[in-house]
Amino acid sequence: GAAEAAINAKVDFSVDLRWEEGGYDNVKMLQARAPSQPPIVTHPVTGDPTWFCNVHSHSSKLRKDRESIYGAERFEDGASQINKSDMYFGDDGDIPNEALEEMDQVTAKNMKYVKMREGDVVLLDNYKCMHGRNVFDGTRKHGVAWFEGWDGEEDTK
């Protein structure tokens, strides 16, 4: 329908919309399900295997854990209110909490923080750098652009 067309125009894959209960806070909601994707992909330029999975950001269990650390009130508006996503295995099976916690621990051990000031810009290669943001006060502008690399990128192989 119209909702699927609007969502599919913003992403590079087709979503399946479903009314289901559960996930973030056990309420009935319209869920947009992306097709199953492997968590490890090949970088298009270097050919290196790359972890390409947002489980650290989109797991409802890990998000609830962050709420208990930073305070639930930090997650009550903006994208935190509408982005109530969750992660599943390719067969729609639940990912065990132990596996989610292990992925979160590996992520935490490899995090590097970038302290930003007003006017700063960060450019990231999605294939080379898992990224996110911590809680903060204030507003942000989030721009996304896709591009075909840079001069000399072939030399990184």
Residue 42: helix, strand or coil by DSSP? Answer: strand
Length reported for the chain: 157
Model pLDDT, residue 22: 60
Place of tokens 């007003």: 118
117-140 pLDDT, tens per residue?
Answer: 888 888 777 777 777 777 677 776
pTM of the model: 0.65
Neighbours of 74 (CB within 10 A): 15
Sign of CA dihedral 91, 92, 94, 95: positive
157, 46 contact by CB (below 8 A): yes
